[in-house]
């Protein structure tokens, strides 16, 4: 049933999430995030981006690259990451954690979050179809906002900086990733900017919510403890770079290109024990990404196809097929396949990165699920 809307509310904040960046500097920050209070609130939209701290105008990605952000409830004192135990495939119900269902389970620390995405978030907000919303009655305690940003202003090679290529951060480790662009790291800058002035920014987020009257909205499942959670599924197969059997990011080898592209396929379940309707499908890709496709393993039906939209080399939008923008059904225990395709030519300069066309890339699905309609 649809929500009978009495009034739609907008809640926007920038205070408390300020930060300073020097040219080439990296920061991973988190802070308390005021959120609409009341157990009867239903979130129907969420936007986030980086803005100038003084003017509050959006900051270009060419100046500050928003690698990713997460917004999550802390559930009181439980504010640490949870762990999935290795073993047989099963649903993971760790308070404050999200579920990651794979054919081969993994053991890795995972960030918690109900909402989150990357650089494309300015034009890809969380907005489920009309009649769906995330109820806040399952969450207690304050909310936190964490984010990872990279200053590209004055850098010698902005693409190498935002792809976290290790050699661009004075680290001779092959490849790239978080291990090289952590907080405190600084990407190589041009000689003129080596002592550049720090600039002030803020994270801005806007929440759209309402109070239901009469009929109930089908409750989306945010990615926290059961029975309501949004499940995050990574396209990266087993054989991780950093953690045992898991890979949140990976590199695109030039030598592996077949027809100039690199494919990765990961099978996953949306729900193991009960049928659900996937009301919102979010896709996260980095520069070099060409497409992401979700198929039913049983007969190959495509339930979602997405491709990135670019502006000056940055992913600024994810274009999704009609089937991807409508709710789609997932039976209990049904297997799906996520295929992510990246361009394996061009990209990073061969002088800086002879082995990899891209480093630190990702291919994620963010799924918001509701109980299946009778």
Q: What's the token pair of residue 4?
A: 């009978």
Nearest-angstrom CA–CA distance, 200 and 373 = 48
Is the predicted pLDDT of residue 81 greater than 50, yes or no? no
**Of the ranges 95-99, 103-107, 175-179, which one carries the lowest mean pLDDT score?**
95-99
At 8, the pLDDT band (50, 70, 90 cuts) reads low
Question: For a pLDDT cut of 70, what percent of the chain falls above it?
Answer: 70
Q: What's the token pair of residue 26?
A: 């990296």
Nearest-angstrom CA–CA distance, 125 and 338 = 21
Is the predicted pLDDT of residue 224 greater than 60, yes or no? no
Residue 167 φ/ψ, nearest 5 degrees: -65, -25
CB 3 within 8 A of CB 210: yes
At 309, the pLDDT band (50, 70, 90 cuts) reads very high
Is the predicted pLDDT of residue 273 greater than 90, yes or no? no
Task: With 0.85 as the threshold, say if the pTM is over it.
Answer: no
Q: How many domains does the chain have?
A: 1
- Tens of pLDDT, residue by residue over 29-40, are 888 888 777 666
CB within 8 A of 7, min separation 6: which ones? Answer: 210, 211
* Whole-number pLDDT of residue 139: 57
At 166, the pLDDT band (50, 70, 90 cuts) reads very high
At 257, the pLDDT band (50, 70, 90 cuts) reads low
Mean pLDDT calculated for residue range 315-334: 91
Domain containing 100 equals: 5-371
Q: What's the token pair of residue 130?
A: 């009309």
Q: Where are the alpha helices (DSSP H) in 47-163?
A: 158-162
* Whole-number pLDDT of residue 214: 47
SS3 149: strand
Is the torsion defined by CA of 127, 121, 223, 245 positive or negative?
positive
CA distances from 297 to 170, 264, 280 (A): 44, 15, 20
> 227: cis peptide before it, omega within 30°?
yes
* Whole-number pLDDT of residue 140: 58
Nearest-angstrom CA–CA distance, 363 and 266 = 10
- Tens of pLDDT, residue by residue over 145-154, are 889 999 999 9
Is the predicted pLDDT of residue 231 greater than 50, yes or no? no
Is the predicted pLDDT of residue 25 greater than 90, yes or no? yes
* Whole-number pLDDT of residue 58: 93
SS3 87: coil
> Which residues share a beta bridge with 12?
206
Range among 108-122, 164-178, 285-299 rated most confident: 285-299
Q: What's the token pair of residue 294?
A: 């979700």
Write down the mean pLDDT value for the chain.
Answer: 74
């Amino acid at each position: 049933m649809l929500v009978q809307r009495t009034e739609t509310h907008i809640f926007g904040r920038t205070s408390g999430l300020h930060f300073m960046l020097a040219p080439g500097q990296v920061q991973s920050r988190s802070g308390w995030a005021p959120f609409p209070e009341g157990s009867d609130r239903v979130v129907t939209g969420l936007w986030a981006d980086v803005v100038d701290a003084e003017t509050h105008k959006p900051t270009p990605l060419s100046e500050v690259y928003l690698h990713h952000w997460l917004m999550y409830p802390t559930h009181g004192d439980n504010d640490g990451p949870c762990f999935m135990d290795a073993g047989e495939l099963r649903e993971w119900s760790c308070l404050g954690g999200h579920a990651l269902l794979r054919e081969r389970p993994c053991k890795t620390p995972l960030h918690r979050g109900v909402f989150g995405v990357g650089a494309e978030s300015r034009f890809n907000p969380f907005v489920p179809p009309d009649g769906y919303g995330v109820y806040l009655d399952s969450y207690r305690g304050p909310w936190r906002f964490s984010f990872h940003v990279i200053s590209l202003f004055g850098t010698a090679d902005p693409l190498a900086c935002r792809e976290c290529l290790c050699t661009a951060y004075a680290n001779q480790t092959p490849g790239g990733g978080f291990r090289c662009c952590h907080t405190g790291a600084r990407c190589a800058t041009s000689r003129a900017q080596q002592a550049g002035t720090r600039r002030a920014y803020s994270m801005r987020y806007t929440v759209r919510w309402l109070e239901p009257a009469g009929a109930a909205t089908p409750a989306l499942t945010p990615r926290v403890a059961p029975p309501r959670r949004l499940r995050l599924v990574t396209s990266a197969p087993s054989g991780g770079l950093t953690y045992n059997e898991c890979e949140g990011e990976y590199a695109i080898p030039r030598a592996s290109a077949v027809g100039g592209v690199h494919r990765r396929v990961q099978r996953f379940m949306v729900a193991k024990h009960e049928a659900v309707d996937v009301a919102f499908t979010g896709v996260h890709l980095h520069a070099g990404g060409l497409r992401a496709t979700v198929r039913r393993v049983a007969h190959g039906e495509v339930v979602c196809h997405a491709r990135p939209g670019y502006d000056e080399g940055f992913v600024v939008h994810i274009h999704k097929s009609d089937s991807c923008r409508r709710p789609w059904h997932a039976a209990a225990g049904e297997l799906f396949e996520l295929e992510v395709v990246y361009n394996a030519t061009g990209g990073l300069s061969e002088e800086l990165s002879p082995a990899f066309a891209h480093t630190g890339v990702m291919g994620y699905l963010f799924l918001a699920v509701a109980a299946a309609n009778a």
